[in-house]
Structure 1
Amino acid sequence: MKKFLILFTATILSHSFLASAEDEAIGEACPSEFHQLPLFPNARLCQMFDDAFPATLTYHANVDMNEAAAFYLEQLGSTTKDAKVKGRRVLHFGDNNNPIVIISPDGQGSQVDVLMKEAL
């Protein structure tokens, strides 16, 4: 019974945490750019780790992987490397592989992870 109560409490707390985190993220708009790198329009659920370089940003875009990749190809030009790894699309830009954009399928859209090694 004790084990059940612990699992039940953990489930309720995690659901409450995720629901409130999603509500906060939806209520707070993502920036339009990250260290001068544009984000897909209407990006949401942003998580930034950018106190210093290398800096990372993760967000959700309401488009499929191909549309998200096309956006970055249009914004940044050709890649130095474009690979598919474990169902994700990994785009390397610039001579220094800066930035790296990783696009993964996520529900009815895509998760976009951006790694900035240095400022653009």
Structure 2
Amino acid sequence: QLKKETDELSEAMQRQDNVSLDLLLDLRQEALNKLENNWVEMNLLVEEEEELRRSFQRLLQEDPKHSAGYPFLERRILELRGKIEESIGFIKERDARITAQALQTQKFLWEQIPEELKEEVV
């Protein structure tokens, strides 16, 4: 969902569609908040049992590409973690492009303002 919203955010930015940008930023923030809540819940669940906590910590440090030797549930967790990490990398890359594009647009718009008006703004 975050990847989709990030793509839509990039497209709205290219169209200079501020209404869509605001809506998409809100939707994306909601999705990020859900992810954060899921992370907190997961940590609270494993906190109750020492063995579960140790297993969870081990899975967090294991390379998801090495999931083949694990039992089904642990392998599935590692695979999901790998997909999440891949998505986060994609989102960070796209965010960097969106930010660069926004700065470029801001600079362009600033250059279009007559000098006498710029003095009033600053």
TM-score normalised by length of structure 1 = 0.30
Q: Of Structure 1 and Structure 2, which has the larger fraction of its residues in strand?
A: 1
Q: Which has the higher contact order (CA 8 A, sep 6+)?
A: 2
Q: Of Structure 1 and Structure 2, which has the larger fraction of its residues in helix?
A: 2
Q: Which structure has the bigger radius of gyration?
A: 2
